[in-house]
């Protein structure tokens, strides 16, 4: 019987060692089974050559098995190296993911900090001088007669819809004072003229007046604004005495509490109740329509001065007025029916220069 030799094993190229070994052993068994019965029955003692062949065969198998072990160890080492590389790549990937996450958290924190900073910077100033003051509605006269003409111009009720004055305010405080208070009384159109008594009064109260922050009520602020407007409208800097800065006067205008100003008296509530320029003090210019803001005014006298223009119809809104004396001035036009209507209620004394001013209701006329 001819057994397979190593050359038969080597012919199985392209087949893994372990599989080739199985095929080789199978070839051996097939060769042995293919032996005829006659050969099995005619058994003969093994010859030295047969023993050599079997020894060679065992050596071949052992050699092949050693090669298989070496091959498997190499494969195992490659798997270990590949696995280590994969784990290293995974760790690197995890580290990169963590860095990205921390970077994202840092960006979010910076965005939040920027938002908070913007809110703090834009937060409005909490200053009493910039507080919003709602206008007090003008009281309507109770006397019978024609309805008096409203102050000119009529102020818008919604400040947000009002036009912005063309000359920008000189300070933030002045802008807030105009928007929240003065514009509702005077109107933006008049305030466009920076030489107008109304703008000068607003500018003085907002930027110069040290006493204005002491005012706690709307009527007090209205009295001060109206009195300051009256000062500039009658050319107060040219008065004979008690103008702003007059060191010889103990009670100059625009200094300290307006209840202590020359020719002004206040009631117990701290509101102006009397304005008495009953003698020449150099008043000129005209009377501003803002005099209607003296809501508690009872006596109003400007006598023997040089105030001209028309008598403002807004005086008819002074429902507490008992005496109005305008003699010895340069007024023109006529006393309005609205003012005359007050003579049916509170106004007891009304005098003017009837030759210069038409007055059908005056109680006394200066020839």
Domains of the chain and any CATH numbers: 6-90 (no CATH), 129-365 (3.80.10.10)
Report how far apart, in Å, the C-alpha atoms of 267 and of each of 260, 295, 296 are.
12, 12, 8
Residue pLDDT, tens place only, 185-205: 999 999 999 999 999 999 999
Give the pLDDT band (50/70/90) at residue 169: low
Give the pLDDT band (50/70/90) at residue 283: very high
What confidence score (pLDDT) does residue 160 get? 39
Indicate the pairing of strand 272-277 with strand 299-302: parallel
Weakest mean pLDDT among 35-44, 169-178, 295-304? 35-44
Please give the average per-residue pLDDT across 89-117, as a whole number.
78
Residue of 128, 243, 233 lying closest to 186 (CA atoms) = 233
Kindly tell me if the per-residue pLDDT of 142 is higher than 50. no
More confident residue, 250 or 132: 250
Residue pair 303/352 in contact (Cβ under 8 Å)? The answer is no
The pTM assigned to this predicted structure is 0.57
Residue pLDDT, tens place only, 335-360: 999 999 999 999 999 999 988 999 99
Residue pair 276/305 in contact (Cβ under 8 Å)? The answer is no
Phi and psi angles of residue 355, each rounded to the nearest 5 degrees, phi first = -75, -30
Alpha-carbon gap, residue 337 to 335, rounded angstroms: 7
The DSSP code for 161 is G
What confidence score (pLDDT) does residue 84 get? 54
Query: Residue 276 belongs to what H/E stretch?
Result: strand 272-277
What confidence score (pLDDT) does residue 81 get? 64
Alpha-carbon gap, residue 237 to 259, rounded angstroms: 19
Average pLDDT score over the chain: 78
Task: Retrieve residue 322's tokens.
Answer: 């008992």
Beta strands in 267-361 (DSSP E): 272-277, 299-302, 308-310, 323-325, 330-332, 349-352
What confidence score (pLDDT) does residue 153 get? 42
Residue of 169, 239, 163 lying closest to 202 (CA atoms) = 169
Give the pLDDT band (50/70/90) at residue 90: low
Residue pair 350/338 in contact (Cβ under 8 Å)? The answer is no
More confident residue, 234 or 102: 234
Report how far apart, in Å, the C-alpha atoms of 204 and of each of 53, 174, 347 are.
130, 9, 33
Most confident by average pLDDT, 3-12, 93-102, 213-222, 317-326: 317-326
């Amino acid at each position: 019987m001819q057994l397979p030799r190593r050359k038969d094993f080597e012919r199985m190229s392209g087949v893994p060692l372990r599989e080739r070994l199985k095929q080789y052993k199978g070839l051996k068994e097939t060769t042995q089974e293919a032996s005829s019965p006659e050969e099995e029955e005619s058994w003969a003692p093994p010859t030295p050559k047969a023993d050599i062949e079997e020894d060679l065969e065992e050596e071949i198998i052992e050699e092949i098995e050693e090669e298989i072990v070496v091959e498997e160890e190499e494969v195992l080492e490659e798997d270990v190296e590949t696995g280590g590389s994969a784990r290293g790549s995974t760790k690197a990937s995890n580290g990169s993911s963590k860095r990205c996450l921390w970077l994202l958290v840092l960006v979010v924190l910076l965005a939040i900090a920027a938002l908070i900073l913007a809110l703090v910077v834009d937060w409005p100033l909490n200053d009493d001088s910039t507080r919003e003051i709602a206008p007090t509605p003008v009281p309507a006269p109770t006397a019978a007669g024609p309805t008096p003409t409203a102050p000119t111009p009529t102020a818008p009720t919604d400040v947000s819809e009002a036009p912005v004055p063309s000359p920008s305010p000189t300070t933030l405080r002045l802008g807030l004072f105009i928007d929240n208070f003065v514009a509702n009384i005077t109107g933006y159109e008049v305030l466009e003229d920076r030489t107008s008594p109304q703008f000068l009064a607003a500018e003085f109260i907002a930027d110069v007046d040290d006493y204005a922050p002491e005012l706690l009520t709307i009527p007090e602020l209205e009295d001060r604004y109206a009195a300051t407007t009256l000062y500039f409208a009658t050319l107060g800097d040219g008065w004979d005495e008690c103008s702003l800065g007059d060191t010889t006067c103990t009670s100059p205008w625009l200094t300290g509490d307006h209840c202590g100003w020359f020719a002004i008296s206040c009631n117990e509530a701290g509101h102006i109740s009397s304005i008495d320029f009953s003698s020449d003090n150099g008043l000129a210019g005209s009377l501003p329509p803002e005099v209607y803001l003296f809501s508690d005014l009872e006596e109003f006298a400007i006598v023997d001065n040089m105030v001209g223009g028309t008598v403002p119809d807004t005086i008819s809104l002074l429902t507490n007025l008992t005496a109005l004396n305008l003699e010895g001035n340069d007024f023109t036009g006529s006393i309005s029916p609205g003012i005359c209507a007050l003579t049916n209620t509170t106004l007891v004394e009304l005098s003017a220069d009837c030759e210069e001013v038409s007055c059908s209701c005056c109680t006394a006329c200066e020839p």
